[in-house]
Structure 1
Amino acid sequence: MTFVLSVASMSGGIRVVTIYAEALVRAGHEVTLVSLPYPAIPLRRKIKSFVTGKGWLETPVIPSYLDDMDLDHRVVEKYRPIVESDVPDADVVIATWWETAEWVNALSPAKGEKVYFVQGHEVFPFCPIDRVMATYKMPLHKITISQWLADLMRVEYGDADVDLVPNSVDHQQFFSTPRAKQPRPTIGFLYHETPLKGLDVTLEVISALEKKYPTLRVISFGSFAPTGLFPLPASVEFHLAPDQEHIRDLYTQCDVWLASSRSEGFNLTAMEAMACRTPVVSTRTGWPMEAISSKNGVLADIDDTDALTAGVEHLLNLDDSQWRTVSEAAFETVASSSWEKSATLFEAALGKAIGKRLSEKRIATPQPSVVAGRG
C-alpha cells in the first residue's frame, strides 16, 4: 500500500494518515509513504531579503508527524509532481490531497488500485477550484472522514459508492476524570493563521468576552509561532507545538473550547477537547456540525461572531452542576470512538477498492462459454 502525500507536516490530515499507516503495518501490510520536501525559496526572494537588510533566507525544515516514525517514508529530491518512478508497485495507491489525486490518477495500474482519501472539500480560494473539483469526479474509490463529505461526494459529484471512515480519538492520550468548572473562567482555541480556521473571528470573540469577564483566562496552542499577522492579546497564554500529554492538560484546564473555522473536513481538536470533558462552541463545519447539540456544546453559523460569543457566555454562565452535565455529555459523545475501530474500517475500505477492481476486470474479460450436454 502506498500513500501519496504533498509536504509532510504537523497538519491534522498528515496525523490521520500516520495513524492509519502504523495500524496497517501492525496488521501485516507493507506500507510506503511518498511525499514532497518543503518548496525551496526562490533565489530572487532570497536576494531581495538580503539587500533589504532582512538577511539571507533559508528554506525551512518543518516538523512532521512522520518524523522519527518507524515507517517507510520516502521524500522525493525536490518539490515537484510525484511520478511513476517515485511510487513502488503495490495493491493500492492512496491520494491524500487534490493535487496528489491528479498524480495518482495518472499512474499505471501496476501501482495499485487508486483510492482518494478525502479529508476535506478543498475548493479553497488559494487553490485552482476547477482542477480541485475535477479530482472528485476521477475514477478513484473515495474514502471520507465525515458524513457531510460523503453526502457532498454523492450529491455534488455523483459518487454514491463512498466509504465513510470517521476520525477518532486516542482515549489513552486524551481523557479526564469528571471535573468542576475552573475557579477562573477559562477558554481555549487552536492557533492557526490559515484564513479557513477563522482566527480573526476567534480574536473578535475573545475581545468581546474580555469586556464581560475581566478575569477571563485564554489558552491557545499551535504548530507554528505567531507571525504577527493576527496579533495575540497579551492575556493569551500561547503554547508552541506542545506534546500530546501537554495538549491534554491544556484541554482539561478549559471550561470551553472555541472553534471558529470557516471550513473543516473533520476538526480533531474539537473531538479531543470533548474527550477531556471540555464542551465545545463551534461553527457549523465538519464533525461538530454532526456531533454537537445543545446537550454537549453550542453550534453557531460561520463568521457569526455574536452567536459564538453568546455560546461561550452560555457555558461560562452555567452553575457548576449544569456545567458538569454538559461536560459529561460532551465526553459521552466521543466515548465509544477509537482509532482501532476506524483503522479496521479503513482497511476494509481498501479491500473493497481492490475487490471492486478485480470484479470490473472479470466483467470486462470475455469468458469462454460452456454448453452443457455436448462432448
Structure 2
Amino acid sequence: MKIAFVLPRISSVPIGGYKMVYEYANKLSNDGFDVAIFYDNSLVMDKYKIPEFIKRFLISKRTEKSPVWYELNSNIEKKSSRDKNLDSFFASVDIAIATGAGTVNLVKNFFKKSKKVYFIQDFEADKTGESWSNSAEEVYNTYNAGLINITVSKWLKEIVDQKSDRETIYVRNPLDINKYKVLTPINKRNQNTIGMLYHDRPRKGCKYTFEAIKRVRDKFPNVRLIMFGACPPPKNLPTWITYYENASQEQVIQIYNSISIFASGPVKEGFGLTSLEAMACGTALVSSDNLGAMEYAVDGKNALLSPIKDVESMEVNIERLLEDDKKRIELASEGVKTASNYSWSKAYSDFKEAILLE
C-alpha cells in the first residue's frame, strides 16, 4: 500500500508541523508501507527570472535532498509538483494525506483514485496575515471537503466538528520520550537558567516572553537565558543571553536539560510541542494560557500559566519559581509525568488506524 503525504513546499529550515509529518512517514515506512512525500512547489523560485526548465531542475535537486534538517528514511520517495509526468505517481497512491489548508484541493484534484485524509495541526487562518493568507471561511471549507479529518488537539477537533459533516478523529501529538527525557537531575540544575524558543512570527508571542524575562533580569542579575530557533538571533543581544540557531535535536535536548525554567508565550498555537518537550526533559513550564498549551498544561499543577500577552503576569510567575525552588522542582516533576503519557506508540497506532479506515 502506497501512502503519500502532501506538504505545502520544501523547507530548508525546521518547521514543527513538517517534523511531525516526517516522523509519521518514517514510522509508516518502518512498518512496511510504501511512503512518499509530495511537495507543492508551484510557487518556489517564482521571484527568479530564469527559464522554467532551470527552475524545475534546481527544485528537483532540492526536493531530492529535502529535508536537510531531518533524517528521513532513504527508501521514502520524494516528488515535486514541478516534476514532469506525474500521472503515474498520482495513480499509484492508495492514501493521499493533505497536511495544510492549501494542499486540500491539490489532494482532491490530482489524487483522484486515492483515499483522502486531512492531517490538521493548527487553525490556518490569521487576521494579521503574518502566518497564512487564508480567510477563516476558506479554512472552514477545507474541513468539509470530504476528506477524513484528523486533528492533533481537542480544541481543533471542536472547531472542525462544527464545520464538517463527518466526525473528526483526534490523535494527540506525541513526542519521543526515549529521547526527550531528564538527563540532568531536576534538583541539580542552576535555578537561574531560563530557556525559550525564539521565532519572529508575532503569533509565537516571543516579544512578550522576552520582555518578561528582561524585567525579571533587572531584579535577578544572576539570571541567564538560553534561546534557540530557526531564525537569525535578535540584534545586539546582551552577554547574559546565549542563542543557538538551527540547533540539532540533540542540542535542543541538552538545552532543555541545562535550564530550570522554560518560558513560552504564544498568542496562538495548534498544540505547542516545544513546551511539552521541555517538560519531558525536566524543566518547569511558565506559559501563556494559549489553547495549544492547555492541551497538557494545568496551572499550579505542572505549569504556571498567565493570560495571553500579559507580560507582568508571566514576569511574576517566573520570579515565583526563582524564589521558590521547591515549587520549581514540584512543577518540573509533574511535567515529566505528564509528558510520559504522550508516547509515540499510541499516537502511531491511532494514526494508522485512522488513515486505514474504510
Q: Which TM-score band (shorter chain)?
A: 0.7 to 0.9
Q: In the alignment, which residue of structure 2 is the partner of 1:195?
A: 202
* Contact 1:283-1:289 at 8 Å conserved across structures: no
- Percent identity reads 29
- Larger Cα Rg: Structure 1 or Structure 2? 1
Look up the SS of the partner of 1:109 in the other structure: coil
Q: 1:115 to 1:231 in 2, by over 3 A?
A: farther
Q: What TM-score, normalized to structure 1?
A: 0.81
Q: Distance in 2 between matches of 1:88 and 1:194?
A: 38
Q: In the alignment, which residue of structure 1 is the partner of 2:181?
A: 175
Q: Distance in 1 between matches of 2:17 and 2:266?
A: 16
List per-residue Cα deviations over 1:62-98 (Å, max 9, x = no partner): 854455532424242649xx98666342221100011
Q: In the alignment, which residue of structure 2 is the partner of 1:40?
A: 45
The runs of 5 or more residues in structure 1 that have no matched partner are 45-57, 356-375
* Contact 1:219-1:237 at 8 Å conserved across structures: yes
Q: Distance in 1 between matches of 2:104 and 2:195?
A: 35
* Counterpart residue type for residue 336 of structure 2: F
Q: Is residue 76 of structure 2 the alignment partner of residue 72 of structure 1? A: yes
Q: Distance in 2 between matches of 1:339 and 1:8?
A: 25
Q: Is residue 350 of structure 2 the alignment partner of residue 348 of structure 1? A: no
Q: Is residue 324 of structure 2 the alignment partner of residue 318 of structure 1? A: yes
* Contact 1:282-1:288 at 8 Å conserved across structures: yes
Q: How many residues align?
A: 335
Q: 1:78 to 1:309 in 2, by over 3 A?
A: farther
* 1:18 alignment partner, one of 22, 26, 47: 22
Look up the SS of the partner of 2:194 in the other structure: strand
Q: In the alignment, which residue of structure 2 is the partner of 1:95?
A: 98
* 1:132 alignment partner, one of 117, 120, 139: 139
* Counterpart residue type for residue 17 of structure 1: V
Q: CA deviation at 1:39?
A: 2.1
Q: Distance in 2 between matches of 1:108 and 1:63?
A: 23
* Contact 1:165-1:345 at 8 Å conserved across structures: yes
Q: 1:186 to 1:134 in 2, by over 3 A?
A: same
Q: In the alignment, which residue of structure 2 is the partner of 1:28?
A: 32
Q: CA deviation at 1:223?
A: 2.0
Look up the SS of the partner of 1:127 in the other structure: coil
List per-residue Cα deviations over 1:285-325 (Å, max 9, x = no partner): 24421211211111222211112222212222213x33222
* Contact 1:262-1:303 at 8 Å conserved across structures: yes
Q: Is residue 303 of structure 2 the alignment partner of residue 297 of structure 1? A: yes
Q: In the alignment, which residue of structure 2 is the partner of 1:373?
A: none
Look up the SS of the partner of 1:106 in the other structure: helix
Q: In the alignment, which residue of structure 2 is the partner of 1:163?
A: 169
Q: In the alignment, which residue of structure 2 is the partner of 1:242?
A: 247
Q: Distance in 1 between matches of 2:89 and 2:231?
A: 30
Q: 1:66 to 1:33 in 2, by over 3 A?
A: farther
Q: In the alignment, which residue of structure 2 is the partner of 1:337?
A: 342
Q: Distance in 1 between matches of 2:249 and 2:313?
A: 31
Look up the SS of the partner of 1:180 in the other structure: helix
Q: CA deviation at 1:203?
A: 1.8
* Contact 1:35-1:73 at 8 Å conserved across structures: no
* Contact 1:190-1:222 at 8 Å conserved across structures: yes
Q: Distance in 2 between matches of 1:63 and 1:3?
A: 14
Q: In the alignment, which residue of structure 1 is the partner of 2:124?
A: 122
Q: Distance in 2 between matches of 1:274 and 1:287?
A: 14
* Counterpart residue type for residue 280 of structure 2: A
Q: Distance in 1 between matches of 2:202 and 2:20?
A: 22
* 2:115 alignment partner, one of 110, 113, 116: 113
List per-residue Cα deviations over 1:20-62 (Å, max 9, x = no partner): 1111112221111111458216248xxxxxxxxxxxxx99x78
* Contact 2:191-2:260 at 8 Å conserved across structures: no
Q: CA deviation at 1:284?
A: 2.1
Q: CA deviation at 1:109?
A: 3.1
